[in-house]
Amino acid sequence: MRAIGAPAARSGVRSVTRSRGRTLEGVSEEQKEHVGAGDLTLSIALYTVARLVLVVALAAIIWGVGKLAGVDVPVLVAAVFGVLIALPLGMVVFKKLRVRVNNQIAIVDGQRRARHEDLQSRLRGGN
């Protein structure tokens, strides 16, 4: 609980990004300038679809192995186990996609922060 008149705590995203001193590995200056919200949306969609395909594939494997073994595995149970297995596996298998999304988020956030600071400067009367 904060005291009356005390500034509200900001989201931890900004401080975590600064404290880690993240660098954008493998991203050229030209790429940093040209990353837009559309590129980020496409990368997030690709990463999401890849992880969902992994879940479906694992669920199908679990269900199929159960059928081959003569065990009737309910589809819901196979799906739950597919999700549980795909969570850590997807982070390892799709590391390049995840790193690309993270880099693009950092770039878009930096662009947004720069625009915000520019606007604040202009509102204060600075050049």
The residues spanned by each domain of the chain are 35-124
At 34 the pLDDT is: 67
Q: What backbone torsions phi and psi does residue 9 show, to the nearest 5 degrees?
A: -70, 135
| Token pair belonging to 35 | 């990353």
Angle, helices 37-68 vs 75-93, to 10°: value is 130
Q: Is residue 38 scored above 90 in pLDDT? A: no
Nearest to 32 by CA among 116, 112, 104, 124: 104
Instruction: Give the mean pLDDT of 66-73.
Output: 94
Task: Fill in the DSSP letter of residue 23.
Answer: -
Per-residue model confidence (pLDDT) at position 30: 55
Output the average pLDDT for the chain.
81
Q: Which two tokens stand for residue 37?
A: 């919200």
